[in-house]
Chain A
Amino acid sequence: MYAQSILGIGWAVIQPIFSMIVFTIVFGNLAKIDSNGVPYAIFSFTALVPWTYFSSSLSSSSRSLLSASGIMTKVYFPRLIIPISPVISKLLDFFIALIILVGMMLYFGFSPSTDIIYLPLLVLLMIFTASGLGMWFTALSIQYRDINYGMGFFIQLLMYAAPVVYPSSIIPETYRTLYGLFPMAAVIEGFRAIFLQTIKMPWDFIITGTIISLLLVVTGSFNFRRMEKYFADVA
Chain B
Amino acid sequence: MTDIVISVKNLSKKYRIGLKEETDDTFVGAVGSILKSPFQNLKRLQKLTRFTNIQKNSDDTIWALKDVSFEVKKGEVIGVIGANGAGKSTLLKILSQITHPTTGSITLNGRVASLLEVGTGFHPELTGRENIFLNGTILGMTKREIDSKLEEIVEFSGVEKFLDTPVKRYSSGMRVRLAFSVAAHLEPEILLIDEVLAVGDVEFQKKCLGKMDAVAKGGRTVLFVSHNMAAIKSLCKKSILFSKGVLADFDQTNKVIHHYLNDNNGVEIKKSECGPDNSLTLSDSVKLVSIRLIDDENRKIEILNENSALGVEIIYNTIDMINPIVPSVNIYNNYGEILFSSINRNFKKDSHSNNGNHKYTLWIPKNTFSSGYFKAGVILSSLSYANSERLIQTIKHLSFEVNDKSLNEVVGENGREKESFLRPQFEWEYQKV
Contacts and interface: CB of A to CB of B under 8 A. Distances in A.
A160 interface: no
B48 A143 contact: yes
A143 B96 contact: no
Interface string A61-78: 000000000111111110
B431 interface: no
Interface size class of B (residues with CB under 8 A): 20 to 34
Interface in B124-152: 124-126, 135, 138-139
A215 interface: no
18 contacts: A3-B125, A71-B123, A73-B93, A73-B98, A74-B120, A75-B96, A75-B120, A75-B121, A75-B138, A76-B114, A77-B139, A143-B45, A229-B100, A230-B49, A232-B93, A232-B98, A232-B99, A233-B48
Contact of A75 (B125, B139, B166): B139
B70 interface: no
Interface in B93-133: 93, 96-100, 112, 114, 116-117, 119-126
Contacts of A70: 119, 124
A74 B117 contact: yes
Contacts of B139: 75, 77
B114 A75 contact: yes
Nearest to B46: A143
A229 B45 contact: no
Interface of B: 15, 45-46, 48-49, 93, 96-100, 112, 114, 116-117, 119-126, 135, 138-139, 166
Given A74-B121, A75-B138, A144-B45, 14 more contacts: A71-B122, A71-B123, A73-B93, A73-B116, A75-B120, A75-B121, A75-B139, A76-B96, A76-B114, A77-B139, A143-B49, A230-B49, A232-B98, A233-B15
A138 B15 CA distance: 22
Interface string A1-41: 00110000000000000000000000000000000000000
A3 B166 contact: yes
Contacts of A75: 96, 98, 114, 116, 120-121, 135, 138-139
A71 B99 contact: no
Contacts of A230: 48-49, 100
A234 interface: yes
B49 A74 contact: no
Contacts of A71: 121-123, 138
Contacts of A74: 98, 114, 116-117, 119-121
Nearest to B97: A76
A227 B166 CA distance: 32
Nearest to B100: A229
Nearest to A234: B48
Contacts of A77: 138-139
A146 to B, nearest CB: 9
B16 to A, nearest CB: 8
B131 to A, nearest CB: 10
In the A-B complex, the 7 residue pairs with the smallest Cβ-Cβ separation, listed nearest first, are A229-B100, A75-B121, A76-B97, A230-B49, A232-B99, A3-B125, A74-B121
